[in-house]
Amino acid sequence: MSQLHFAQLSDTHIRKDYSVGLLSGMFTSLLSPDEKLRKILSVVQSQPLDFIVISGDLVHEGEEVDYHQFKKILDESRIQVPVLLALGNHDNKEAFCNVFEQKLTHGRYYYFYQIREWKIVVLDSADREHGVGEIDDIQIEWLERIYDKKDKIVVFVHHPLFWDDYLLQIGKNGKRLQKFLSRSNVKGIFCGHVHRNSMKIEKQICQFTVESSACGFDYIEKGISEQERSGYLSCIMDNDGMKVENCICGTKEVYQIPKEILKEVLDKKE
């Protein structure tokens, strides 16, 4: 088995103008998500990576102008390895495709990228009409078609498969995805969405979630406490196993989102 080394970022929530839109007050109390993303990209580029993945919620409001800003940051960072992008519930699939010159498959953005014997699978769990994760039947059927037992498989998707709050995890076809992931040559699933680093091993599946690069979430009794915290994962897989480093930038509590408006925050876009 050859060594695979990658960095995962997520929930970059880039905007051209942070002073307007949903939760604008939250962003004006934070350090700029733009600068946090630039900083993390400059750090990870010093590592001998095979690729970088950014697992959804690339922008906050899904507007084309925001994707242009996100793309500008990537271009100016002069990244020398492939950057794989997934989409989240804050993303607008059509606007993303217009800016990045991509195409949807049956209304979703999913694909795989082959690196030697490693098959890197990127799924689309996002529906812009609501915040709950889902994998449509077509993607499950596609997974079965591309499966090869000779591959070593790593899966990236925005929503976690397992989480304490069912509203934040993959609902539709979650069990079918679990069945696929339980195969011995699937090495792990890496997710975003929850703005919180974690590792869970359930049903013989190893799941990691990564901190948002824009801000961290602490889950408290009253809802969500937002933190001035950003980070990424660095992962090495080889014959000796898997080493995952959770890399965190500074922390500071800056904002709280009460429970009663959490659903509105997840579901609504301006």
Q: Which domains does the chain have, with CATH numbers?
A: 4-267 (3.60.21.10)
Question: For residue 259, what pLDDT is reported?
Answer: 52
**Do 53 and 8 contact (CB within 8 A), yes or no?**
yes
Question: For residue 1, what pLDDT is reported?
Answer: 80
3-state helix, strand, coil in the chain (%, to 5): 25, 35, 40
> Tens of pLDDT along the chain (270 residues)?
899 999 999 999 999 988 776 656 666 667 889 999 999 999 999 899 999 999 999 999 889 999 999 999 999 999 999 999 999 999 999 999 999 999 999 999 999 999 999 999 999 999 877 778 999 999 999 999 999 999 999 999 999 999 988 888 999 999 999 999 998 899 999 999 999 999 998 888 999 999 999 988 888 877 788 888 899 999 999 888 889 999 887 544 444 445 554 444 444 333
**Do 214 and 13 contact (CB within 8 A), yes or no?**
yes
Question: For residue 204, what pLDDT is reported?
Answer: 84
CB proximity list for 184: less than 8 A, separation 6 or greater: none
Strands 231-238 and 241-248 turn out to be: antiparallel
